């Protein structure tokens, strides 16, 4: 591992760490030497992840956090900093979707997606940003948006809106907080295989979608490791407000 990717002594907070990309992000940061606070609503799953990290002598702290509740965000950030010290790296990853034709989207589904993906992401960034500003040593905030920030995913309007908001939030925070040495950047993943969607890719509709993708394949969560470690480490010290597309060319494809 290059020196730019060495995170020994750093404290990273990963939201949405109980499954999918968040689980992988936490493992990757821990293997790079970071102490990792694992945040999610389900602490039981976080305990399993913490044990996996501790098995290779990493340090991990499960933190109960519901990003739709500002009090829960603030108490979770405080608990993680009390236990592991000031947060140096935030991976702002919590996200949900509610697929539905636009004319049938309910207010409950719309609020659920926007409150988690957009509002939740902002107030997690705010809580960590306040701590970083007060400390005065800067830090790295990595927002996880989606290819949906740039292009339409069919029958997923609230998700697309929320991820476009995260992308623009990244640029706004980078502009405001750059003076504090806080680097705010964003990863836009393409289609990635996770526990939640694994079965879909084996269906006829899933296979049809894969056949239309630029590389005729979907990604593995580990294929985001390079972008994550770049933005978390010193290699991104001159990057602020950057949006990294990690989507095998989907953003620029005609499909």
- Which positions are catalytic? 159
CA-closest candidate to residue 187, choices 229, 245, 134, 129: 245
Q: Decide if 101 contacts 158 (C-beta within 8 A).
A: no
Give Cα 191 distance to the centre of its chain.
Answer: 14
105, burial (CB in 10 Å: exposed 0-12, middle 13-18, buried 19+): middle
Q: How far is residue 146's CA from residue 94's CA, in Å, rounded to a whole number?
A: 12
In this structure, the number of other CB atoms found within 10 A of the CB of residue 99 comes to 13
DSSP state of 219: B
In this structure, the number of other CB atoms found within 10 A of the CB of residue 3 comes to 8
Element (H, E) at 11: strand 11-15
């Amino acid at each position: 591992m290059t020196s730019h990717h060495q995170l020994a002594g750093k404290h990273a907070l990963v939201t949405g760490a109980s499954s999918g990309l968040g689980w992988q992000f936490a493992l990757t940061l821990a293997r790079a030497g970071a102490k990792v606070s694992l945040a999610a609503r389900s602490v039981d799953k976080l305990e399993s992840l913490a044990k996996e990290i501790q098995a290779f002598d990493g340090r991990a702290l499960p933190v109960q956090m519901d990003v739709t509740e500002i009090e829960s965000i603030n108490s979770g950030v405080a608990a993680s900093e009390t236990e592991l010290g000031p947060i140096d790296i935030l991976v702002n990853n919590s996200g949900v979707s509610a697929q539905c034709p636009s004319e049938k989207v309910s207010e409950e589904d719309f609020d659920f997606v926007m409150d988690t993906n957009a509002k939740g992401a902002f107030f997690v960034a705010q809580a960590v940003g306040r701590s970083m500003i007060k400390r005065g040593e800067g830090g790295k905030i990595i927002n996880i948006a989606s290819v949906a920030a740039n292009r339409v995913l069919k029958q997923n309007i609230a998700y697309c809106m929320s991820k476009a908001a995260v992308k623009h939030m990244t640029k706004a925070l980078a502009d405001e907080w750059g003076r504090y040495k806080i680097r705010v950047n964003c990863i836009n993943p393409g289609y990635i295989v996770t526990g939640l969607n694994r079965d879909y890719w084996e269906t006829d509709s899933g296979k049809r979608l894969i056949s239309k993708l630029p590389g005729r394949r979907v990604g593995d969560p580990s294929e985001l490791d390079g972008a994550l470690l770049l933005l978390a480490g010193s290699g991104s010290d001159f990057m602020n407000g950057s949006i990294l597309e990690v989507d095998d060319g989907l953003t620029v494809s005609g499909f």
